[in-house]
Amino acid sequence: MYPVYLESHNNGKLKSIIEEAFKMLESCCICPRECKVNRLNDKKGFCRIGLKPKLCSFMPHHGEEPPISGTRGSGAIFFSGCNMSCLYCQNYEFSQLDEGREVEFEELATFMLQLQALGCHNINLVTPTHIIPQILKSLELAIPKGLKIPVVYNTGGYELPEMIKLLDGIVDIYLPDMRYADNEMAIKYSSAPKYPRFNQAALKEMHRQVGVAEIDEEGIIRKGIIIRHLVLPNNISGTDKIMRFIAEELSKDTYISLMSQYSPCYKADQFQEISRRITEQEYEVALAGMEKYGLYNGWTQDGHGLERFAGINIKPILNKNGIM
């Protein structure tokens, strides 16, 4: 069945996954931080979210990669809080400063249905890592009311592989970041210890579940993984190592969104090495890294304008057969 969560709902798998996920909230261990606070009692750890999900906004989003946004928009739900603390976060108002409001599970389910009614191609869960159990419960409530568009798991990539395994049979589309190749950089700029290890293991599991992106005749993704890589100044992101991992450990057919939109937001101006936009040369070096490892599927970005919640000027990369 499609989306895949419909079958999991019908055969009881979704219910079992929800029960297992909520048990993990009692001594929270749903992300690499493993804060061990009792979120069932509304205690809060690093992500600053207790039992109820907290939302900043939800809307049809037309600024994602073309197969995600399509012609009718991606049904984006922007969750407050985060299990990372990026010094340069573009969405810091809600990811770091917690703008937004708490909602009941039933209300979140209603938002999903409203986005579907607006014609969105998918439900785009933006920064979902720290509230997976709550999202799954809301999904369970929305399905009997007619939800039938696929879920996009849009994550910063600091994930426990064990939690991603729980999503097998629930998520059709993964949209993860590969932010850092170096652990020291991850700690310094995002307070994310062991990010490369957790990130790489999680992406292997995502790829195992859904494989290379499958894009239909209308240009809309039905299933698969698209990897985002934000090019940071001074090669802080370690682009070459990341491209090598994708080519050697996942697939050379992987779709990659190579982003040039870095802007020194939030606290970035306090650190000289990240207090500027990237240069044209830095982006060209990153693009050469993709080509070096035979990675030809995906999108690049032109221009350096900043627009909240938007991917800017996304265009296809030349693949082996010409333009996608």
d(CA 43, CA 283): 42
Confidence label for 303 from pLDDT (cuts 50, 70 and 90): low
Q: For tokens 């802080």, name the residue.
A: 236
Q: Are 79 and 56 in contact (CB under 8 A)?
A: yes
Q: Across residues 266-291, what is the average pLDDT?
A: 96
For residue 133, what pLDDT is reported?
A: 98
Whether residue 3 has a cis bond before it, omega within 30° of 0: yes
Q: Which residues pair with 125 in a beta bridge?
A: 77, 153
For residue 129, what pLDDT is reported?
A: 98
Residue 148, SS3 per DSSP: coil
Q: Across residues 224-229, what is the average pLDDT?
A: 98
Single-letter residue type at 37? V
Confidence label for 148 from pLDDT (cuts 50, 70 and 90): very high
For residue 257, what pLDDT is reported?
A: 97
DSSP 95: H
Q: Please count the other Cβ atoms lying within 10 Å of the Cβ belonging to residue 248.
A: 10
Lowest-confidence region among 45-54, 67-76, 303-312: 303-312
Mean pLDDT of the chain, nearest integer: 93
Q: Please count the other Cβ atoms lying within 10 Å of the Cβ belonging to residue 240.
A: 17
Q: For tokens 């996954």, name the residue.
A: 17
Q: Across residues 70-74, what is the average pLDDT?
A: 97
Q: Across residues 157-162, what is the average pLDDT?
A: 98
Confidence label for 165 from pLDDT (cuts 50, 70 and 90): very high
Q: Which residues pair with 60 in a beta bridge?
A: 75
For residue 309, what pLDDT is reported?
A: 25
pLDDT over 90 for what percent of the chain? 92
DSSP 127: S
Confidence label for 315 from pLDDT (cuts 50, 70 and 90): very low
3-state helix, strand, coil in the chain (%, to 5): 40, 20, 45
Q: Which residues pair with 155 in a beta bridge?
A: 176
For residue 319, what pLDDT is reported?
A: 38
Residues 6 or more apart whose Cβ sits within 8 Å of residue 255: 67, 212, 213, 224, 225, 226, 227, 297, 298, 299
Residues 6 or more apart whose Cβ sits within 8 Å of residue 103: 52, 53, 54, 55, 111
Q: Across residues 28-55, what is the average pLDDT?
A: 98
What pLDDT digit, counting tens, does each position of 179-219 carry? 999 999 999 999 999 999 999 999 999 999 999 999 999 99
d(CA 49, CA 47): 6
